[in-house]
Amino acid sequence: MTIFEGRGLTVRYGAHVALEGVDIALEPGVVHGVIGPNGAGKSTFIDALSGRKRPSAGTVTFEGADITRRSVRWRRGKGLSRSFQRTSVFGSMTVGDQLEMVARRNDEQDLDEIVSTLGLDAIRHQVCSEIAYGTQRSVDLAIALIGRPKVVLLDEPCAGLVHDESVRMLQHVRDVCKDRDVAALLVEHDVEGVFRTCDVITVLDLGKVLASGAPDEVRADENVIRAYLGSAA
Amino acid sequence: MTTTAPTDDVTETMVAVPPAGPGRWKGTLVGLGIALAVLLAGLAVPYVVTDTYRMSLVVDATILSLLAIGIGFLARHLGIISLGHGAFFGAAAYGVGIATTNWGWSPTTAVGFGILVGTGIALVMGLLVVRASGFGFLMLTLALSQALYALSVQTSARPLTGAHDGKLLSYDRDQTFLGLGQADVMNPGLFWPMAWVALTVCATLLWVVGRSRFGTTLEGIRENEERMRFSGYGTFGPRLVAFVLSGAVASVGGALFAINAGYVSPDILGFSKAGDSLIAALIGGFGLLVGPIVGTFLFVYAQANFNFGGNLHLFTGMTLILVLVFMPGGITGTFQKLYHRMRKGRR
Amino acid sequence: MNAAQLLNGVALGSLLMVLSSGLAMIYGLRGVANFAHGALYMAGAYIAYSVSDRAGFWLALLVVPLALAVLGVVLELAFFRPLQHRSHIELGLITFGLALMAERLVVLIWGESTLRVNPPEFLQGTTSFVGIEYPSYRLAIIVIAVLLAAALIVWLRSTSIGLHIRAASQDIETAAIMGINVDRVSLVVVAVGAALAGLAGALAAPYIALDPGMGNAFLITVLIVVVVGGIGSIAGAMIAGMGLGIIQTVTTVWSPSLAVVVPYAALTIVLLWRPTGLAGKRVS
Amino acid sequence: MKRRLLAAASAVTLATTMAACGAASDSSGGDSEDGPIKIALIPPTSGALAQFGTDAVKGWETAVRLINAEGGIDGRKIELIKKSSDADPATTLRVAKEAVTQDGAQFIGAVMTSPEHGALNAQLEGLGAMSFNAMGKDDALVGEQCSPYAVHVVQTTSMDVNALAASLTELPGEKWAIQAVDYATGHSAAETFKAAAEKAGKQVVLEQFAPLNTTDFGSYITKLKGSGADAVFAVEFGADGVAFVQQAEQFNLDAQLKTVLGLNMVSEPLFETLGDSIEGYYNNVGYDAAGDNELNKEFVEAYTEDHGSAPYYVPADNYTAAQILFAAIEKAGSSDPAEVSEAIKDLTVDTVVGEVTVRGADGQVLRDSYLGEVVKGEDGLAFDILTNTDAGVTTPEPDSACKF
C-alpha cells in the first residue's frame, strides 16, 4: 500500500544532471533507506521529493494525487514532513517554545510523548543554540515528527553524531516509524546503520538507482558491491 | 559541523536576548500595567521640563522614536534592517500636509489620512521587498524609498508636495488637531500628550505583538525561514504583516511630525533621515524595545549640542563604529548583558 | 547627434564600471556592501585635485590609486579582518559609519566649496571622432576604463592570485579549506577595490565638479549596479555599470526627470525577476 | 595642507569646547527693553552652502561693529548670537527656537535657503521673533509663505529674471536656449524669460530642465549644441553650475555661443574655481561693489578692514539687512519684535545699495537690480555692471496669497 511515490524524478543544474529518472515508493510503517556515495544525488533526491527543489521532470504523488507543484507548506499541512542534513532548528528559541510553535501549527495533541520519546524533557527550557549538537539533532527530528505526519523524509539525521548517538538516533527513528505507522525515508551516510535500521533500501549512484530491495538483496547485489560497497562490505 | 560563517542575519550578535514566549499572560498583564503607569507618569513631563526649548527637543525625540521603534521592531523580530522607513514617515507627513493644505481637511482627519497613506505605502513596498533578506532587503528598501523621494521632488508633483521647496501646512484658524489650534500644536508643552500617548501606545502594541503567538512565529521566521515553511508556516504573510505594522508605527510618527512642525520638506523622505534613525536605533540597541527610543533621545540630544560646524556626522559615524565594534547589542544590550552577568555571578 | 548621446552614455558607464568593479570585488569576497566606497571615490577625487595642482594630472592618476590602496589595507586590517565573524550587515553598517566620518574629514581638509580639476592640456577641447566633435577627455576616460576592465579580467583569469580571488569569491570557506590564503587574497582584493574607487575619483575629477556631496551621489547608484550585476560577479558589475550609464543617459535625453528614477526601477525589477542579480552566484 | 589640517583640528577642538561651555552656561530669555539687542545668526556651516553662510556672518559682524562703535541704538549695544545649521529646515528651526527661547534673541539673520525660510516663517509669530532674509530668493517667501515678521531683503527670483528680461535687448544672440534646474525657480525663471525673449523679438529654440544635483551635463550640452542656439540662458546653481560650465567648456560649446546669460549661476565666490573660461559671461548682479555712494564706500572699507577681502553680494545683502533692522528699531523706539514689525512697514532706508523701501504688504524690500558681465581686471575676474534696472520695473505686485 504505497502512500508516497516519486516517479521518474530528474533534476538538472544547467548541463549537469544530478538526478535521472529515479523511482521510489514509500509505505506506512516502513523505513526506507537511501544510500550512495558522495555526489550520488541523495540530497538532491530528498529536496526533489520534499518540494525544496522542483524536479526538471517526473512526478511526486501523495495518496494517489500529484503534488509535484505543491508548496512545502501545503505538503506539511497534508502530513508530509522532512528534516535537514545541517541542523535546522530555531537557535535563539527555547526547545519547548519551538516545539510548541510547530505543534500549534500541526495540531499535535501529544507533544509530551514526542519530547519524552526523544529524551528532550530535561532541556525543554533551554535555549536551543546552547544545547549539545547531538541533542539539537534530536530537536530537529522532533520538529519533523510533530503533528503525526504520514510521511517523514530524513536527510542524514546522524550526520556529525558520534557512534553511540548515531545508534540511538536510528533506533528512535525506527521506533517512531513503527509506533505511529509513519512512512519514513532515511537518507544516510552511515551504511551500516541503514542496513541495521531499514526495511527497504535504495542505492543511488551518479543520480540513478543502482539497486533497490530488502537489505539482504541489496547487500548481495553485484552492481552495488562493485560500485559502492566494494571495500566497505 | 555548526558553521560560524558570517551570514546576512544580524540577530546573532545584535539581538542579545530572546523575547519571552507566548501565553505568559501574567507577564503580559504586568507589562501592560507598567506601560499604563509609564504613560500616566510621562504626562507630567511638561511640569518637570518647564523650559520650552528643552521641551521641544523632548517632543522631537518622542516623535522620531516612533520611526526608530518601527525600524527596531523589524530588526528584533525578523532580523532585517530597513533603510526605507523614512518613506513611510515622510509619506504620512506629506499625507497630512496635502489633506490639510490642498483639500482643507481638519487636522485630526488629516492625521488619520496621513497614517493610512504611510501604511499603504508600507503595504505596497512590503509586497515587493519582504521576500528578500539581508542585503537584498536593505538595498530594496533603500532603493524604493529613494525612488519615492525622487518622485516627490518631480516638478509634476509640485502642486501636491511643493517639490524641493517643501510644503507649509495651513488650515483654518478654527480647525484644530484634537483641540489644539495652529499655534498650540507648535507649543511643545501642549503637544506633548499627543506625542507621548502615541509613543507609549505604539510601543506597548509592538511589545504585546512581540510576545504573542504571532511574535513567536516571527521569531521562528527570523531564526530559520526555511524550516518554518517546512513546518507548515507561511512566511510571506507574517513578514508582510510585521513590515506593514512597523511601517504604520513610523507613519504615526510622520503624521505627528507634520502637525507639530507645520512644515514638510523632502529631506524627511530621504535616505539620511532613515539612516539617522537607523543609527540611533542601533546605538540604543535592537534587543530591547526601549533601545531605539534611548538611541533616538541620545541622537536628538547630540544633534542639539554637538552639531557645531557640521561635525555631527563625524561624531555619529564614530559612535556608530564604536558601538558596532565594541558593544554590538547597543547601549541597552550592553546593560542587559552586564545585568545578566551580575545575576549569574551572584548565584 | 545620437552617436554623441551614446558616447555620453558610454562615458558615464565607463566611470560607473571602474567604480563598481572595485565595489563588486569587495562585495564578492567579504560579502559586505562597502558603504564607504563613495567616500573612497570622493577621497580619490580630492587627492587628485591636490596632486594635479602641484604635479600635474598624470601623476595624480598614479598617486591616487596607490594612496587609496593604502587606505584599503587599513580598512581590511582594522575592520574587515578582525570582524569577519560578524554578520555582513553589521560590517556594512560599520562602513556606513566610516562613510559619514570620511565625508566630514574631506570637508575639514579641503573645505566645502566646489572645486574643479582641469584635464591635461592636450585633452582639453574636442576631438573629431566618427564625424562628431566630442570632448577629448571623455574619450580618454572611455579608453582608460576599457583598458582597465580588460586588464582586470586578464589579471583575474590568468594569474594565480586572480584564480584564488575567484575561488574565494565563490565560496570563501571552501577556498580556505583548499589551502588558499584567504587573508592574503582578501587584503589584495580590498586594496585593489579601494584603488579602483580612487582611480574612478581621479578620473571623475576633471569630468564633473568636486563637492562634498559627490560621494553620496554615486554611492547609491554604484551599490545598485553591484546588486543588479550579481553579488560576487565583477564582470556582472561591469556590464551592469556600463548598461546603467547608457540607459540613464538615453532616458535623460528623453525625459530628465524620469532618468532620476531609472537606477531604482532597475534594481527593483532585476531583484524581483532574478533575486541573485544578473550574473549572481546561487545563494542557497 | 598641513596648516589647513591643523586649523581644522583646532576648529574641532574649539567647537567641542564651545559646546561644553554652551551646555554649562544656560542663560535664559532676555529682558527686552534695557539689555543688549540680540540677533541670532543661523547660517549653514556645513554642506555646499557653508561658504555663503560664513560670508553672511561677516556682513552682520561689520554692521554690528560699526553701530556699536557709534554707541549702539538708543544707547543699547547690539549682540550677535552665532549659531550653526546645515541648511536643513528642521535643524534651522530647532536652532532658531533655541536662540529665541534660550538666548533671548529677538531677531534672526543669515538663514540661507528658501526651504529654511519657509519653515521659519511659519513659526516666527509663535516664537515672537523677526527674521531678515538676505539670501533665500523664492517667490513663495513673499507669497503664500510670507509672514509679517519676515523681511525679504534680497530680490526674489522673479525680480532677478525681470531685470535680465528688461536688459535682454542689449545682449547679442537671436536664437536662445534655456538650460534650467528642474525646480520651481528654474521653471518660473524659464517662463518669465521666454515671454521676455518673445517680446524682444528673440527666438527660444530649446528649453530643458536638469534635476537638482545633476553631475553629468553631457546629454544636455549635446542637445544644446544640436539645437543651433547662439545664446544660452542658464539657471544652474552651486555645484550644478560649476559642472555645467566646466563641461560646456570641454564640449567647446562657447564656440557657437554669442552669449551665456546666467541667473545666479556665476558669482564672486566661484570665480577662482570657474576660471577664465567664464570671461564674457553675463549674470544678474544684486549688489554693485563699485557702487558710487558714501555708505557703500564706508562699508567696503570697513568690511575689507575686518575680513581682509572685498565684499560681494552675500555680505553686502546681509549688511543691508542689518541697516534696515537698525533703522526700524530706531523708528520703533523699542526692540520688541511686534513693534519693530509694525515700524518697518513702508520704511525707507538709505543703504549701501541706495535708498530702499520695505513694502508693507509683503515685507519685500524694493531695490535696484543689475546686469553684469564677467571681465578680467587687475585682481582677476570681476563683474562689470552693464545695466541698472529700477525696482519699479522688476518687482511684481504683492502676491494675493500673502495675507498678514
- Does D22 sit within 8 Å of B305, measured CB to CB? yes
**Structural domain harbouring B134:** 49-346
Alpha-carbon gap: C217 to the closest alpha carbon of chain B (Å): 11
Indicate the residue of D90, D121, D209 with minimum beta-carbon distance to B261. D90
Asked whether residue B143 is assigned to any structural domain, the reply reads yes
pTM over 0.90: no
Note the pLDDT tens digit of each residue in A192-230.
889 989 999 999 988 889 889 999 898 888 888 877 655
The 3 state secondary structure assigned to chain C is CHHHHHHHHHHHHHHHHHHHHHHHHHHHHHCCCCCCHHHHHHHHHHHHHHHHHHHCHHHHHHHHHHHHHHHHHHHHHHHHCCCCCCCHHHHHHHHHHHHHHHHHHHHHHHCCCCECCCCCHHHCCEEEECCEEEEHHHHHHHHHHHHHHHHHHHHHHHCHHHHHHHHHHHCHHHHHHCCCCHHHHHHHHHHHHHHHHHHHHHHHCCCCCECCCHHHHHHHHHHHHHHHHCCCCHHHHHHHHHHHHHHHHHHHHHCHHHHCCHHHHHHHHHHHHCCCCCCCCCCC
- Does B328 sit within 8 Å of C268, measured CB to CB? no
Indicate the residue of C12, C112, C213 with minimum beta-carbon distance to D216. C12
Kind of pairing between the strands at A200-205 and D203-210:
unpaired
**CB crowding D259-272: b at 16 or more within 10 Å, else e:** bbbbbbbbbbbbbe
List chains adjacent to chain B, taking adjacency as at least 3 C-beta pairs closer than 8 Å. A, C, D
For residue D114, which residues of chain B lie inside 8 Å, CB to CB?
165
- Among A185-194, B216-225, C154-163, D47-56, the range scoring the smallest mean pLDDT is D47-56
Note the pLDDT tens digit of each residue in D253-280.
988 999 999 998 998 888 888 888 899 9
Q: Which residue has the higher pLDDT, A228 or B227?
A: B227
pLDDT interval class at B116 (50, 70, 90): very high
List chains adjacent to chain A, taking adjacency as at least 3 C-beta pairs closer than 8 Å. B
Indicate the residue of B7, B313, B316 with minimum beta-carbon distance to C87. B7
Amino acid type, B32: L
Alpha-carbon gap: B9 to the closest alpha carbon of chain A (Å): 12
Quickly name the fold that domain D159-285+370-394 has. Answer: Rossmann fold (3.40.50)
Q: Which positions 27-56 of D are in contact with B (Cβ < 8 Å)?
A: 28, 44-47, 50
| A81 has a pLDDT exceeding 90 | yes
Alpha-carbon gap: D270 to the closest alpha carbon of chain C (Å): 8
Distance CA C19, CA B347 (A): 56
Selected from 3.40.1080.10, 3.40.640.10, 3.30.460.10, 3.40.50.2300, the CATH number assigned to the domain covering D2-155+289-367 reads: 3.40.50.2300
Note the pLDDT tens digit of each residue in D89-147.
888 888 898 899 889 999 999 999 888 898 899 889 888 999 999 998 888 899 888 99
| Predicted local confidence at residue D40, as pLDDT | 96
- Does D251 sit within 8 Å of C126, measured CB to CB? yes
Indicate the residue of C94, C231, C267 with minimum beta-carbon distance to B325. C94
Beta sheet of A4-13, edge-to-edge order: A16-26, A4-13, A57-62, A65-66
For residue B233, which residues of chain A lie inside 8 Å, CB to CB?
73, 105
Task: Give which of B68, B37, B5 is closest to B274, Cα–Cα.
Answer: B68
With a pLDDT cut of 70, the percent of chain D lying above it is 91
Distance CA D367, CA D359 (A): 11
Which residues, other chains included, contact B7 with Cβ-Cβ below 8 Å and sequence gap of 6+?
B134, C87, C88
| Predicted local confidence at residue D26, as pLDDT | 36
Asked whether residue B38 is assigned to any structural domain, the reply reads no
Asked whether residue B25 is assigned to any structural domain, the reply reads no
| D1 has a pLDDT exceeding 80 | no
| B15 has a pLDDT exceeding 60 | no
pLDDT interval class at B13 (50, 70, 90): low
| D5 has a pLDDT exceeding 60 | no
- Does C135 sit within 8 Å of D251, measured CB to CB? yes
List chains adjacent to chain D, taking adjacency as at least 3 C-beta pairs closer than 8 Å. B, C
Q: Which residue has the higher pLDDT, A14 or C24?
A: C24
Alpha-carbon gap: B332 to the closest alpha carbon of chain A (Å): 19
Alpha-carbon gap: B310 to the closest alpha carbon of chain D (Å): 5
Chains D and A touch (3+ CB pairs under 8 A): no
- Does C107 sit within 8 Å of B140, measured CB to CB? no
Task: Compute the mean pLDDT over every residue in chain D, rounded to the nearest whole number.
Answer: 86
| Predicted local confidence at residue D30, as pLDDT | 42
With a pLDDT cut of 90, the percent of chain C lying above it is 49
State whether residue B145 sits within 8 Å of chain A by CB: no
**CB crowding C18-54: b at 16 or more within 10 Å, else e:** bbbbbbbbbbbbbbbbbbbbbbbbbbbbbbbbbbbee
Chains D and B touch (3+ CB pairs under 8 A): yes
Backbone dihedral angles phi then psi of residue D259, each to the nearest 5 degrees: -140, 135
- Among A36-50, A108-122, C164-178, D238-252, the range scoring the smallest mean pLDDT is C164-178
Mean pLDDT of D211-234: 91
| Predicted local confidence at residue A228, as pLDDT | 65
Q: Are C227 and C31 in contact (CB under 8 A)?
A: no
Q: Find which of A186-195, C47-56, D4-13 is predicted with most confidence, using mean pLDDT.
A: C47-56
DSSP 8-state secondary structure symbol assigned to residue C111: -
| Predicted local confidence at residue D94, as pLDDT | 85
Note the pLDDT tens digit of each residue in C71-85.
999 999 999 999 988
| B1 has a pLDDT exceeding 60 | no
- Among B92-96, D15-19, D187-191, the range scoring the smallest mean pLDDT is D15-19
| A231 has a pLDDT exceeding 80 | no
Alpha-carbon gap: B219 to the closest alpha carbon of chain C (Å): 18
Domain count, chain B: 1
Distance CA A105, CA C224 (A): 39
* Residue found by looking up cell 509505505 in the block: A27
| A106, closest residue in chain B (CA to CA) | B232
Mutation choice for C interface testing from B146, B283, B311 by most C CBs within 10 A: B146
Mutation choice for B interface testing from C91, C93, C252, C255 by most B CBs within 10 A: C93
| Predicted local confidence at residue B14, as pLDDT | 58
Predicted ipTM? 0.84
Task: Give which of B92, B256, B265, B270 is closest to B168, Cα–Cα.
Answer: B265
| Predicted local confidence at residue D2, as pLDDT | 41
Q: Which positions 19-78 of C are in contact with D (Cβ < 8 Å)?
A: 50
Task: Compute the mean pLDDT over every residue in chain B, rounded to the nearest whole number.
Answer: 87
Distance CA D19, CA D233 (A): 45
Mean pLDDT of B219-233: 92
pLDDT interval class at C32 (50, 70, 90): confident
| D7 has a pLDDT exceeding 80 | no
How far are the Cα atoms of A225, C86, D1, D25 from residue A39, in angstroms, in the given order?
17, 32, 62, 75
CA B39, B43, B46, B49 dihedral sign is negative
- Residues of C in CB contact (< 8 Å) with B are 31, 33, 79, 83-94, 96-105, 107, 172-173, 220, 223-224, 227, 231, 257, 260-261, 263-265, 267-268, 271-272, 275
Asked whether residue B194 is assigned to any structural domain, the reply reads yes
Alpha-carbon gap: C5 to the closest alpha carbon of chain D (Å): 6
| C125, closest residue in chain D (CA to CA) | D250
Alpha-carbon gap: C238 to the closest alpha carbon of chain D (Å): 19
| Predicted local confidence at residue D12, as pLDDT | 40
- Does A146 sit within 8 Å of B231, measured CB to CB? yes
| A132, closest residue in chain B (CA to CA) | B2
| A159 has a pLDDT exceeding 90 | no
- Does A87 sit within 8 Å of B1, measured CB to CB? yes
Note the pLDDT tens digit of each residue in B41-67.
999 999 998 888 889 899 999 999 999
| Predicted local confidence at residue C270, as pLDDT | 85
Indicate the residue of C116, C119, C249 with minimum beta-carbon distance to D219. C249
pLDDT interval class at D365 (50, 70, 90): very high
* Residue found by looking up cell 540661507 in the block: D112
Distance CA C184, CA C164 (A): 10
Task: Compute the mean pLDDT over every residue in chain A, rounded to the nearest whole number.
Answer: 88
Distance CA B88, CA B116 (A): 10
Task: Give which of D134, D176, D148 is closest to D319, Cα–Cα.
Answer: D134
Q: Which residue has the higher pLDDT, C269 or D348?
A: D348
For residue A72, which residues of chain B lie inside 8 Å, CB to CB?
229-230
Note the pLDDT tens digit of each residue in C100-110.
999 889 888 99
Could you tell me the three cell numbers for C257?
A: 526627470
Could you tell me the three cell numbers for B332?
A: 541597552
| B211, closest residue in chain A (CA to CA) | A97
Which residues, other chains included, contact A16 with Cβ-Cβ below 8 Å and sequence gap of 6+?
none
Mutation choice for C interface testing from D46, D179, D219 by most C CBs within 10 A: D219
Mutation choice for B interface testing from D17, D42, D97 by most B CBs within 10 A: D97
Residue B100's CATH number? 1.10.3470
| Predicted local confidence at residue C107, as pLDDT | 85
Indicate the residue of B1, B18, B223 with minimum beta-carbon distance to A133. B1
Could you tell me the three cell numbers for C145?
A: 576604463
- Does D97 sit within 8 Å of B52, measured CB to CB? yes
- Among A225-229, B173-177, B210-214, C39-43, the range scoring the smallest mean pLDDT is A225-229
Domain boundaries for CATH 3.40.50.2300 within chain D: 2-155+289-367, 159-285+370-394
Q: Are B119 and B253 in contact (CB under 8 A)?
A: no
For chain C, which residues make up each domain, given as ranges?
3-215
Asked whether residue B205 is assigned to any structural domain, the reply reads yes
Mean pLDDT of D370-386: 89
Could you tell me the three cell numbers for D164?
A: 535680465
Instruction: Report CA Rg, chain A.
Output: 17
Asked whether residue B10 is assigned to any structural domain, the reply reads no
pLDDT interval class at B342 (50, 70, 90): confident
Mean pLDDT of D286-291: 86
